[in-house]
Amino acid sequence: MARRAKGAGAETAGGLLLIAPPAIYALLLLAAPLLLLLTYSFLTDGYLEILREFTWANYSEAWTNPLYRGVMLRSLGVSALVTAATVLLAFPVAYFVSFHVDPARKSTWLFLITIPFWTSYLIRVFLWKVILGYNGVMNAGLMKLGIITEPLTFLLYNVNSVIITLAHAYAPFAILPIFVALEKIDRSLLEASQDLGESKIVSFLRVTLPLAMPGVVAAVLIVFIPTIGDYVTPQLVGGPEGRMVANLIQLQYLRLDNYPLGSALAISAMGIVAVISLIFLLLTRRYIRGPK
């Protein structure tokens, strides 16, 4: 017994040694800046310097100023819509690849789905500008076809274009986890459901969908969490009314040089995302308790 315990101790030490470099890395590059951010958010903004005086003023400004509150709510709304659109569109794609594509071809399909990642995010956003712009592909096409006589202006520089662009950018992130969850479903379960008298549609609702839920939950979180803080897309295609919280933080930091308020906004956004994600996880936990 004693020897085994000693051996286990050595193993633990070895394990700690192995995880030490990434742990230190994560600590320095994630936790430290985060702590700094947290500290800033409680300090007072001087004109060109930061005064070391504790204050709640930044948070009260962030949460009560209608401008900031409005942008925060808009970010949440955009993020929710993007998540809903992405996951709803990703599910049929994942389902098709998992259930209707010849197994030998599945990897090709996955490969094709990831192709958008080959170009930079920035370029993809610019391409949407080309597509949705005043003289863009969409308007030119519709005008050539005679469907419209003058270019549509609601396509670009508003919330719609932000949602379209983000939903496209995050599609593979939603398709892949749903695909994995669908792949894990034993096909005989669907036969069993039909054998027990249920139609294909009801079998989908009673068997496939509940078993795919872990993938759906993962997809929702993977899309929702990063989109709420997205900076590039709203900056490039959002226009004034498509601005989101990240743009506001950038404004505070780099334009107005107000680190404390910027930090308070950042920490608030993070807290809100964390709380929403936790509530979502709690609501869906009965689907994601792992079998086996």
Binding site for other proteins (CB under 8 A): 186, 188-189, 191-199, 206-207, 210-211, 287, 291-292
HSE on the CB side for 277, CA within 13 Å?
A: 18
Pick 2 or 196: Cβ nearer other proteins: 196
Pick 109 or 287: Cβ nearer other proteins: 287
Smallest separation, CB 291 to other proteins (Å):
4
**Spatial CA neighbour of 169 closest among 95, 83, 242:** 83
Pick 144 or 286: Cβ nearer other proteins: 286
Pick 138 or 213: Cβ nearer other proteins: 213
CB crowding 11-39: b at 16 or more within 10 Å, else e: eeeeeeeeeeeeeeeeeeeeeeeeeebee
d(CA 271, CA 265): 10
Helix axis angle, 121-132 to 159-183, nearest 10°: 130
Smallest separation, CB 40 to other proteins (Å):
46
**Cβ atoms within 10 Å of 43's Cβ, excluding its own:** 19
**DSSP string spanning 42-89?**
TSEE-SSSEE----SHHHHHHHH-HHHHHHHHHHHHHHHHHHHHHHHH
Smallest separation, CB 98 to other proteins (Å):
17
What single letter denotes the amino acid at residue 166? L
Pick 35 or 189: Cβ nearer other proteins: 189
Give the position of tokens 């470099």.
Answer: 21
d(CA 44, CA 36): 14
**Is residue 154 helix, strand or coil?**
coil
Smallest separation, CB 31 to other proteins (Å):
37
Smallest separation, CB 81 to other proteins (Å):
29
Cβ atoms of 266 and 158 within 8 Å: the answer is no
Pick 231 or 287: Cβ nearer other proteins: 287
Pick 5 or 201: Cβ nearer other proteins: 201
Smallest separation, CB 223 to other proteins (Å):
24
d(CA 41, CA 58): 7
Pick 99 or 253: Cβ nearer other proteins: 99
d(CA 21, CA 7): 23
Smallest separation, CB 202 to other proteins (Å):
8
Smallest separation, CB 195 to other proteins (Å):
5
